[in-house]
Structure 1
């Protein structure tokens, strides 16, 4: 590690880190919204589960570099290319966990909510969703760590955040930017996971083990 290179390039490193965070945040936000809509549709019409999860599973199994390569002829070396791929990899994780969380709500709790006069919409958002949060956040943790790692691969379409440092190090046979990008990506994934775990515990105190 050459610390003098790091000192001279703090602005560059900061820019790459910020880009990494933006790419990750957009992918997770868009992926969660799409997944929530699809999951609620599945929850309402169970027959939709096999085709939706089948499609999401197919997207998830495509190697990341192959998916980027397939998208480039249509969307170019752009932010859109990176985000389409990144969002695609979040769908299966989010959908499975949202549906599993809702399915895990005990039937007697639903019946109690109905007996108290809740509409189906009120029951969903005021009773079922809060109880499903631990499973949903668990999925968000997996999706977040996965996305942070995949963003580095987006460097091959010019949108890689910290992956640009890794790619630059590989191209120049220079270890310092390579290690800097890799270690910061690892640290970012660990911090994000811990932050989501803290949020989960704060929002669902009843789920803590005694």
Structure 2
């Protein structure tokens, strides 16, 4: 009951922290999509390149988030941005690369070869084939990669509070430092709810953007 009372008394602050969290994750995901999708498309041209890129992206995922934040601090301190929003966004962009690149690559590679041959037979260029044939078919799988990246980044962004990035992780860090379970539970619940809402929202977006002929679920 103490936790719910704390939530009720601090709704404006929780909302503010939630907006900070959404802004942090939103910016990082937009950048990750703008970089990860083109990389995923590019590596479909070479299996050797794909193996190397996916290996590096997977290796980066093994780096603990707090360690990655720590590595960015001395680098960005040279431009006066060692803590705060910028290092948090850079770290989140890095973590979001693997699911987006991997799903983009897998989706493009799994397009029926006969469809590519038909597009070539119609005289389509590589970009035309990509835009009108491959990407529309691959879109549901790419969005699934974005879903995974968003949920991952919502969790990782909670740790970014330790480098001054704000967000819902503030409640968790203060709950730990002040031995206050109310704040700890508030932060944990808020992060979980945000991840669930984001996941279902992107699931609905995937269903909306998927061509009716490719939908397997109602």
TM-score (norm. length: structure 2): 0.90
Residue 44 (str. 1) matches residue 70 (str. 2): no
Q: Which residue of 2 aligns with 1:6?
A: 7
- Equivalent residue number for residue 171 of structure 1: 177
Deviation at 1:105, TM superposition (A): 0.5
Q: Deviations along 1:52-83, whole A, 9 cap, x unmatched?
A: 22221221110111111111122211211111
Residue in 2 that maps onto 1:104: 110
| Structure 1 gap segments, 5+ residues each | none
The CA deviation at 1:149 is: 0.6
49-58 vs 136-145, greater mean Cα deviation: 49-58
Over 3 Å counting, the alpha-carbon distance change for 1:2 and 1:187 in structure 2 is: closer
Distance 1:179 1:8 in 2: 14
| Corresponding position of 2:157 | 151
Quote the Cα distance in structure 2 between the aligned partners of 1:159 and 1:43.
36
CA RMSD of aligned residues (A): 1.5
CA contact (8 A) 1:201 1:207 kept: no
Contact residue 41 and residue 108 of structure 2 kept, 8 A:
no
Match of 2:17 in 1: 16
Q: Name the structure 2 match of 1:80.
A: 86
In structure 2, the gaps of 5 or more residues are: 77-81
User: Contact 2:68/2:91 (CA < 8 Å) preserved in 1?
Assistant: yes
Q: Is the 8 A contact 1:153 1:160 kept in 2?
A: no
Runs of 4+ in 1 over 6 A off after TM superposition: none
Deviation (angstroms), 1:193: 0.8
Residue 98 (structure 2) aligns with: 92
Number of residues of Structure 1 aligned to a counterpart in Structure 2: 210
Deviation at 1:112, TM superposition (A): 1.1
